[in-house]
Structure 1
């Protein structure tokens, strides 16, 4: 199977599975990329980090993955394969959801999907944390970053960049 077809199939599947947002498919994405495209966990974490800091939706990180696997064409293919299927599904599901606006079971379904979405997002956070928290120092940086984001009004981009700089300084100068 050609590499581009494999990219389309992989990211179309991930698109449909992204219930609760892109974070929900991070563990599956990480596994598929490692098996099919030889992207290591460390590379995945680096790509994910770029997606978090870059402006726009954080799942635009899939463009970097497509570029890494198959250049600029791979980037374009992954963009369409990841965002188009879920957008079409969301459009029609939204229309159907509006059609049943007054049915009593609608709230029941919505209530059932909320914890599922939260669980899927938590599994995505766990997958990234497992690959990136590799020492007591990285654990402290992660907890400190979490604390600052939850308890202060500092822009999260600055918190993430600052923590990244502290981690770089520590890894570069104290572990050399």
Structure 2
């Protein structure tokens, strides 16, 4: 039962850090789920996050995978509710307040500041994820190639995701990585 309360507390807290998306909470998620509670290993967390990126729907549904690892189906349900309910309610409240304050002179400054915070949080998450995912030079090349491809073209992200997965499978099959 204590594990369910711990899951609820951790994921409710993490949900409030998702300014700019789920990647914004990744550094703290790594700290809590890997380093503090030891629910998963860093490679497992990266695996869950990657699967969340591939699956349809919100990518942060991956928190259910951590919940399952900790406390089976009840853990998955607790992690999902704890992660999505607080931000859902906060978004409802802030959205209504934001509409009410449409002519407030501080509103553009707050929006600009929050945008900067969101970029910083997402960048920190990407760096921490990169430290764990890019374990060899070749994987760094794949990351760089995908980054440049997505930055400079309008290619559907599904193509480099599938291609990268196939490359990883081939490397594993031939015992290269």
Superposition TM-score tier, normalisation by shorter sequence? over 0.9
Q: Which moved more, 1:127-136 or 1:162-171?
A: 162-171
Structure 1 position 125 matched with structure 2 position 126: yes
Q: TM-score, normalised by structure 2?
A: 0.93
Match of 1:94 in 2: 95
Structure 1 position 13 matched with structure 2 position 13: yes
Give me the whole-angstrom Cα distance separating, in 1, the residues matched to 2:74 and 2:8: 11
Match of 1:141 in 2: 142
Aligned length: 176
Structure 1 position 30 matched with structure 2 position 56: no
User: How far off its partner does 1:149 sit?
Assistant: 2.2
Q: Is the 8 A contact 2:39 2:66 kept in 1?
A: no
Give me the whole-angstrom Cα distance separating, in 2, the residues matched to 1:174 and 1:21: 35
Q: Structure 1: state its 5+ residue gaps.
A: none
Give me the whole-angstrom Cα distance separating, in 2, the residues matched to 1:101 and 1:89: 18
Which string of whole-angstrom CA distances, capped at 9 and with x for unpartnered residues, describes residues 50-73 of structure 1? 011111111111111111111111
Give me the whole-angstrom Cα distance separating, in 2, the residues matched to 1:107 and 1:154: 32
Which string of whole-angstrom CA distances, capped at 9 and with x for unpartnered residues, describes residues 15-55 of structure 1? 12222221110010011001213311111111111011111
> SS of the counterpart of 1:17?
coil
Q: Please identify runs of 4+ aligned residues in structure 1 that moved more than 6 A.
A: none
Q: Is the 8 A contact 1:141 1:167 kept in 2?
A: no
Match of 1:54 in 2: 55
Q: Which moved more, 1:166-175 or 1:46-55?
A: 166-175
Q: TM-score, normalised by structure 1?
A: 0.94
> SS of the counterpart of 2:37?
helix
User: How far off its partner does 1:133 sit?
Assistant: 0.3
Give me the whole-angstrom Cα distance separating, in 1, the residues matched to 2:17 and 2:164: 31
> Cα 1:152–1:20, aligned 2, differ >3 Å: closer, same or farther?
closer
